Structure 1
Amino acid sequence: MTPAAVIATVLGYIAVLFLVAWLSGRRADNAGFFSGGRRTPWYMAAFAMIGAAMSGVTFISVPGSVAADSFSYMEMVAGFTVGQLVVAFLLIPTFYRLRVVSLYEYLDDRFGIHSHRTGAWFFFISKMLGAALRVYVVCAVLQLLVFDHYGLPLWANALVTMAFVWLYTQQGGVQSLIWTDTLKTVCLVGSLVLSIVFIADGLGLSARGVVQAVSDSPMSRIFFFDDPASDRYFWKMFAAGIVLLVAMTGLDQDMMQRNLSCATPRDSQKNIVLTAVSQIFVIFLFLVLGVLLYLYAGHTGLELPAKSDQVFSLVAVDGGLPPVVGILFVVGLISSTYSAAGSALTALTTSFTVDILQGTRRCDERRLTRLRRSVHLLMALAMAGVILAFGYLADDSVINLVYKVASYTYGPILGMFLFGLFTRRRIRDGWMPWIAVAAPMLSALVQWWAREAWDYRIGFELLVYNAAFTMIGMFLVSQRHEK
């Protein structure tokens, strides 16, 4: 696939994306930008969330991870499913009852302004790093396919990408995201299924042959019960999946802004349950694709790249398959990236404006619009800068790197919400920032000590330790309060 063909595919998708964003968001006000006006039908939100839960990291890194991790990611997906139920039936009723614009307004109501801003700042750090990592994956692929060919540096790549994201989200916000995520779901799932079909055809496999080849591969092993010290041990992955989903979806302004755009809590719950079921099948197909990619590379004698995240792009673009496979890869990659970056940018703008600057309390509608647009541009520039930083620092499979970052940054948020929901105690609010900073430091210390003393590796479940330290700290500065 030539660089010109990649450019044409990207520009074609962006043209459709801008049209959908303009049609859906041209009449959006601040309420439409922040919450979609709470008028989204539940089935639209559910279909949009199938794509919203998948990013460019899922599209590239999950298939590439099967060589090292087999299908162990499904252990975490099982935890994700339980976590979705927790979000639907515990958090959704609370957020609708309080009618929050930002999730972290709950912390203000429960504990005070310092807790509110602490939660917002930790979300800001979490989402900025996580979103930048996701976009970096795609920028790295586009750098290889296009920008290096024309001698353009990574900084130009990052700026162009974020400029397009900023342009298509600046007006409609959440109101546009529902429709652009629907477009993403169609493109992502369509690209996934058709890629499997074409690669299987390249291997000369029928549908039954695909099932047999995948089941015969050692990479298709799902359950790991033999070594509790391993990062892939089932109960560690399962528990981590529950808490990661609750933290990274239920307590994440980016993901929840779609769920909270539904008219009623009942509609939101139906959308979340349907999303949970769909996620199981889609992620399983990504892992099947991963096995087929490695089988095809071995069958054709392709030299595997140093990073597993580049396996899909290698086979799709340079593997000798029909050109349509390369086009499907680019469409799936671009659709997942622009949607994920756009929703993250909208969520960062919402949280920074509402939680940190307190814009909805201090500004009239006109001033709030100006403030929101200024923050939106600032967030886009900041994300481009973080993408460049990852260009020099990232050296791990990005799906693992995203969850490592989340284990540190979402832990305090999870601990604060759990303490608020399951206790009646009030805290001395001024201590909350110090507790939230201390918890990740103590978690990192425990992780290092367990590895050095017992050769025990704490994996994604580090988030649980992080949240626990936060709750212990909050208990130490709390007192009983009857409401």
Structure 2
Amino acid sequence: MVGTGGPVATFSEWDYVVFAGTIVGAAGLGLFQAFRGRKESSSAEYFLGGRQMSAVPVAMSLTASFMSGVTVIGTPAEAYLYGTSFWLFGISYVIMSFITAEIFVPLFYRLGITSAYEYLEMRFSRLIRVLGTFMYTMQTILYTGLVIYAPALALNQITGMDLWGVLVATGAVCIVYCTLGGLKAVIWTDVLQMVIMLTGFVAVIARGAVLQGGLDKIWEDAGQGGRLETFDFDPDPLKRHTFWSMTIGGSVTWMSVYAINQSQVQRYISCKTLRHAKMALYVNMVGLCVTLSLAMLSGLAMFSIYKNCDPFTNGDVGSTDQLLPYLVMDILAVYPGIPGLFVAAAYSGTLSTVSSSINALVAVTVEDFIRPVWKNLSVKQTTWLSMGLSVFFGALCIGMAGVASQMGSVLQAALSIFGMLSGPLLGLYLLGMLFRTANSIGGLTGMFLSLVLTLWVGIGGQLYPATADKTNPLPVSTAGCNNTLQSNMTTETPWTTPVTQPDVRPPLADFYSLSYLYISFLGTLTTIVIGLLVSMITGGCKQGKLNSQLFVRKSDFACFSCSHKSQVSGKTEKGATEFDIGADKSGFVHCDPTSHDFVEATKL
């Protein structure tokens, strides 16, 4: 019986057919884009889709890139265990989208860069660019390993498939269409995968509502179980989720993902105009909120069904990240093919993220490490080199999935990785974009010390998790279980929480208990403060005239409907207005300062 614990059904033949058909369709779309663009073989085509992409497919790709299998598996489990406080991420999505669209996008777009880390060399030094690229590479390989592991765990739970077999298959599919098709293949495949992912959530919610007697009943059960206590205004930074950690810490965390992460920057600078680039981010904001809402509703439906029999405490699943896959087979197995659709949804989210990561890793490796050393590579050599690197990074990400399996909750681990490595980088960009006083010595010192601090706190938090009173665990029950499986946990009452703590905690354990959402904020703030102080001490105020193109300008905010000259074709796009431009000593084309029109800056 549904919701009473015990073994559930496994994949049927139709489930395998639906799952396989969905994955083959996604890979086929990527390969179609690859063969379609074979005559346009260039690095700009491979990495940036020829800079001719439109807002809507780019927006869906932006959403799919980080709404991965981690989201499909982790977010419903978050709602089930901790309630709706995670829904406050919707506010951070809005804040992040506005800042990224109005500050970062115009700057990157007018510089005409391929790698986001080119800016660090323009503003600071070659060394800082190399270090920034290295940090991004390490972060992305770790995160991608986690993303590959999450749906493999789901498939292992639902189908009994070999875990490592699934891991290798995931990487192999991504490598094929990523290697052959470049960014266009990645973006258009992401569009299909985004639709599949949302469909999987809808199927879970709809079936849950039917079983429980409507969405009203699900909402009522969630309220009685304490899952609707969304707003906690406690300023304590050690509490896992509060209004402040979700909005302030969450905004900075997601900004470090969307504003400077190559996987995302590469997408919006592939748009054909600045207007399309900005619009892609605002449409993406809506997509993020819709995806978050469907994932949270799926988690609340899961709690309504299992409010009297928690599968984790009852021993039916070995990890809280297996809760949603278990639910799918419990409530949807009566409809052959539907569980296959759900697994395809989790798998599709993973394919989109992994392919995006591989493409971005290849782009930064070629632009930041290889081109500066071998400047005379032909188009053919660059293409073959890019394909080889795609295979290499794909294999490396598969290997990192084994490390990811040791990192606990996939959702928190994913965001912690971004906090530890992207926070210091975000601070470096803001330091360069907003403060003319900042110099390379200050930037390097600030980023290094910030990185040491965030790694110390982040790794300490993994080794010594916060105590139960800081993680806000909510009660679960096993009173209604059939007890067909023996639980590894015992309790004197039917209510318990799946949280364990180390026996010995060091004196700094509370410091390590800083909410994982504040790690990125801590890194960003530390880089800016130390960077400014060191810059002023080392002569930052006495620097010569700096290129104004490298700083945020007031016109960036007003320049929503802009024209520009295409970096690829060199021709003014339709609807553009011609006006005088000139070149400054640094070799950047710039606009007439009295005009609000925009010309893409290109190196002369």
Asked if these proteins are the same fold (TM beyond 0.5), I'd say yes
Judge conservation of contact 1:114–1:432 (CA < 8 Å) in 2.
no
C-alpha contact 2:15 2:338 (8 A) present in aligned 1: no
Q: 2:303 aligns with which of 277, 285, 294?
A: 294
Equivalent position of 2:514 in the other structure: 458
- Partners of 1:3 and 1:144 lie apart in 2 by 14
- Using CA pairs under 8 Å that are at least 6 residues apart, name the structure with larger relative contact order, 1 or 2: 1
Structure 1 gaps of 5+ residues are: none
Conserved? CA contact 1:118–1:433, under 8 Å: no
Structure 2: distance between partners of 1:129 and 1:277: 28
Structure 2, unmatched stretches of 5+, are 1-9, 467-506, 547-604
* Deviation sequence 1:344-376 (CA, Å, 0-9, x none): 111111111111223684422111112111211
Conservation of the 8 A alpha-carbon contact between 2:15 and 2:341: no
TM-score (norm. length: structure 1): 0.91
Shift of 1:404: 1.2
More helix by share: 1
Alignment partner, residue 231 of structure 2: 223
1:390 aligned residue? 404
Q: In the TM superposition, what whole-angstrom CA distance separates every residue of 1:12-55 from its partner, at most 9, and x where no partner exists?
A: 11221122112222215322221111111112322333333410
1:122-161 → structure 2 map (5 Å cutoff): 122-146=135-159, 148=160, 152=162, 154-161=163-170
Query: In the TM superposition, what is the alpha-carbon distance from 1:101 to its structure 2 partner?
Result: 0.5
Using the TM superposition, give the Cα deviation of residue 6 of structure 1 relative to its aligned residue in structure 2, in angstroms: 4.7
Match status 1:440 vs 2:451: yes
Residues in 2 aligned to 1:120 and 1:141: alpha-carbon distance in whole angstroms: 32
Pick from 417, 425, 430: which aligns with 2:437? 425
2:345 aligned to 332, 343, 360, which one? 332
**Cα distance, 1:157 vs structure 2:** 3.0
Alignment partners' CA distance in 1, 2:350 and 2:55: 24
Cα–Cα, structure 1 residues 362 and 139, in superposed 2: closer, same or farther, change >3 Å?
Answer: farther
Q: Considering only CA atoms, is the larger Rg found in Structure 1 or Structure 2?
A: 2
| AA at the equivalent of 2:129 | H
Q: 1:364 maps to what in 2? A: 378
Does structure 2 retain, via aligned residues, the 8 Å contact 1:102–1:355? yes
Pairing partner for 2:26 from 13, 17, 30: 17
Shift in Å, 1:340:
1.1
Residue of structure 1 equivalent to 2:484: none
Change (3 A) 1:446 1:186: closer
- Asked if 1:379 is matched to 2:408, the reply is no
Any residues of structure 2 matched to 1:56-455 within 5 Å, and which? Answer: 56-146=69-159, 148=160, 152=162, 154-203=163-212, 205-226=213-234, 228=236, 229-298=238-307, 303=314, 305-319=317-331, 321-323=333-335, 324-358=337-371, 361-391=375-405, 393-394=406-407, 396-428=408-440, 436-444=447-455, 452=507, 455=510
Q: Deviations over 1:155-214 (max 9, x none)?
A: 4332222111101211222111221111012111112112210121122x2344444444
Structure 2: distance between partners of 1:234 and 1:305? 31
CA distance in 2, matches of 1:439, 1:471: 9
**Matched length:** 475
The reply on whether 1:50 has 2:50 as its aligned counterpart is no
Match of 1:470 in 2: 527
Q: Secondary structure at the match of 2:180?
A: coil
Question: Is the 2:101–2:278 Cα contact (8 Å) retained in structure 1?
Answer: yes
- Normalised TM-score (structure 2): 0.73
Bigger drift between 335-344 and 325-334 goes to 325-334
> Whole-Å Cα distance in 2 between the matches of residues 224 and 445 of structure 1?
27
Query: How far did residue 444 of structure 1 move?
Result: 5.0
Once the 2 structures are TM-superposed, how far is the Cα of residue 85 of structure 1 from its aligned partner? 0.5
Distance 1:345 1:234 in 2: 35
Cα drift, residue 446 of structure 1: 6.4
Given that residues 132 and 387 in structure 1 are in contact (C-alpha distance below 8 angstroms), is that contact kept between their aligned partners in structure 2?
Answer: yes
In structure 1, give the amino acid aligned to 2:522. Answer: Y
What whole-Å deviation, never above 9, does each CA across 1:407-438 have from its counterpart, x for those lacking one?
11112211110111111135346x86665443
Once residues 376 and 143 of structure 2 are traced to their aligned partners in structure 1, the CA distance between those partners, rounded to angstroms, is 30
Give, as a single letter, the amino acid of the residue that structure 1 aligns with 2:281: I
Cα gap change, 1:144/1:67 in structure 2, threshold over 3 Å: closer, same or farther?
A: closer
220-229 or 279-288, which moves further after superposition? Answer: 220-229
